[in-house]
Chains A and B, each alone.
Chain A
Amino acid sequence: MAEAAESPGDPGTASPRPLFAGLSDISISQDIPVEGEITIPMRSRIREFDSSTLNESVQNTIMRDLKAVGKKFMHVLYPRKSNTLLRDWDLWGPLILCVTLALMLQRGSVDSEKDGGPQFAEVFVIVWFGAVTITLNSKLLGGNISFFQSLCVLGYCILPLTVAMLVCRLVLLAEPGPINFMVRFFVVIVMFAWSIIASTAFLADSQPPNRKALAVYPVFLFYFVISWMILTFTP
């Protein structure tokens, strides 16, 4: 009400400001590349009102999301300097990979005597707790990457290790022996290196150049623990 008394003095100058101030705010906030990631779902939602994905079949929606996840899988398998994985992050891929890995690591332990093997919850907790720890560490070291972007990259980069787990399970179907172990060892080492290379290719740029080693060390530890679990797995 106090403003009401003041504003009649210059109604002409007062009126355009509220008109365009809000609008310019929107456009600016969408053009800043740093937060472009966050505004993309919003913008697509606005677009969806026009093209109306409400009418499209559920299959189309699911296929579109699956295609996005698949594209990111390809990015991990063939890591190159690209920030698709960073720009539109999602946690579907990591969830799928983590659940697959945990299910495969779950040994069908009928005998409760030897219950030392990795359980589903344990793998799940290691993956997510480890990823969160690495992310916090990289934030503390001064990295300019958002929390979920880093979580997304770390989750997607488990893909080679999941593949290694699949291979290990297939190899374990054959008769056990030193050759069997050597094959598994080789596969796990290669996939471990692949995971490290892929994740550093995506994450290293977000760190200050002189501190890359500090940020990569926990990543190394994280994948090392997971690959070690895969290597020592016996059904």
Chain B
Amino acid sequence: MATTAAPAGGARNGAGPEWGGFEENIQGGGSAVIDMENMDDTSGSSFEDMGELHQRLREEEVDADAAAAEEEDGEFLGMKGFKGQLSRQVADQMWQAGKRQASRAFSLYANIDILRPYFDVEPAQVRSRLLESMIPIKMVNFPQKIAGELYGPLMLVFTLVAILLHGMKTSDTIIREGTLMGTAIGTCFGYWLGVSSFIYFLAYLCNAQITMLQMLALLGYGLFGHCIVLFITYNIHLHALFYLFWLLLGGLSTLRMVAVLVSRTVGPTQRLLLCGTLAALHMLFLLYLHFAYHKVVEGILDTLEGPNIPPMQRVPRDIPAALPAARLPATVLNATAKAVAVTLQSH
């Protein structure tokens, strides 16, 4: 067997150096390139290819192992073996680093996937749920259905943030520490998450059949009434109109939530406690949002129209010192126009 194999073996040995070198070049160069590219990919921007990357990394490890094994059984054990070990070590290290990054990206992506079912809605569904949030159903014997969905509530909260921002701007609200945006977001999300958690806690105490997700969806859709009321009354400053809307729209959306909660609770005391708390919080929140940024408008109007004119008059009186006297009438006119513009804009 040794004799028959000798020519082939000899031939192989003869070709060995070139082929070995070539092989190793390809292998070493190839693996280095792959590793660098993988590093690029993971430090890159997309998460989509993580699955493939992970798989590729694993395959590559197998390849590296095979390469190392192959090199060890070759004839050139000295330098080549050392290089093989080195490349294997480098590959190992690269794989570890890649794995760490990939798993981190995976966990982020998995979190998005966990949330995805709650956003599985159609536009028509959202529309009908928005309408239903204003229609209380008088059915207390049988637990009413609550759609466990977060798209609508989240969008309503963002809408409320935008409306609140609008209200703050038109009323020239001044917030010392922090921005208007932060305050608006904090108020809306704080109300949504905070009251949901609180009512969920109360519901747990009162033995109501409701989950946290359902509570979030219920309260979120309940904000639809708030959005409408605030959007209208921030633009039309009429107290009677606001109170009408407050009772009508705010009351309807509150009634809807109360009806749902009543149908899912047993016992009059528990029902009273749970629904009373929710109704009071919900209605008072609308009242707060309206008047917190409405009062300021009135205050400004008072300062503009009332006897506190002197600070306004100081402006033209100070300017003539620096400017020619001819500009005085124009400046006064300008100031008046500005005051008119402010009044117009706030209405």
Contact = CB atoms under 8 A, between A and B. Distances in A.
- A and B found bound together: yes
Given A22-B31, A232-B345, A136 B70 contact: no
A151 to B, nearest CB: 9
A148 B123 contact: no
Interface string A173-213: 00111000000000000000000000000000000001101
A14 B65 CA distance: 12
Given A11-B70, A214-B126, A218-B158, A148 B45 contact: yes
Interface residues of B, number: 61
Contacts of A113: 174
Which secondary structure dominates where chain B touches chain A? helix
B166 A19 contact: no
A35 interface: yes
A139 B154 CA distance: 14
B78 interface: no
A72 to B, nearest CB: 16
A41 B36 CA distance: 13
Interface string A100-115: 0000000000000111
Given A4-B73, A14-B70, A140-B115, A29 B180 contact: no
Nearest to A43: B37
B119 to A, nearest CB: 4
Contacts, number: 145
Contacts of B59: 21, 25
Interface stretch (B48-56, B202-210, B217-225, B268-276): B48-56
A96 interface: no
Contact of B165 (A21, A218, A225): A225
Given A38-B46, A122-B180, A148-B46, A22 B169 contact: no
Given A22-B31, A38-B45, A147-B46, A7 B73 contact: yes
B73 A18 contact: no
Contacts of A224: 162
A23 B175 CA distance: 60
A232 B181 CA distance: 15
Contacts of A116: 168-169, 172-175, 180
B56 A25 contact: yes
A68 B47 CA distance: 24
Interface string A210-235: 11011001100100110011001010
A142 B116 contact: yes
13 contacts: A3-B68, A7-B66, A7-B69, A11-B73, A25-B59, A38-B44, A114-B172, A122-B180, A125-B179, A137-B119, A175-B337, A176-B338, A218-B155
Interface of A: 1, 3-4, 6-8, 11, 14-15, 17-19, 21-23, 25-26, 29, 34-35, 37-38, 41-42, 89, 113-116, 119, 121-122, 125-126, 133, 136-137, 139-142, 146-148, 175-177, 210-211, 213-214, 217-218, 221, 224-225, 228-229, 232, 234
Lowest 6 CB-CB distances: which A-B pairs, in order?
Answer: A3-B69, A140-B119, A213-B123, A146-B46, A148-B45, A4-B69
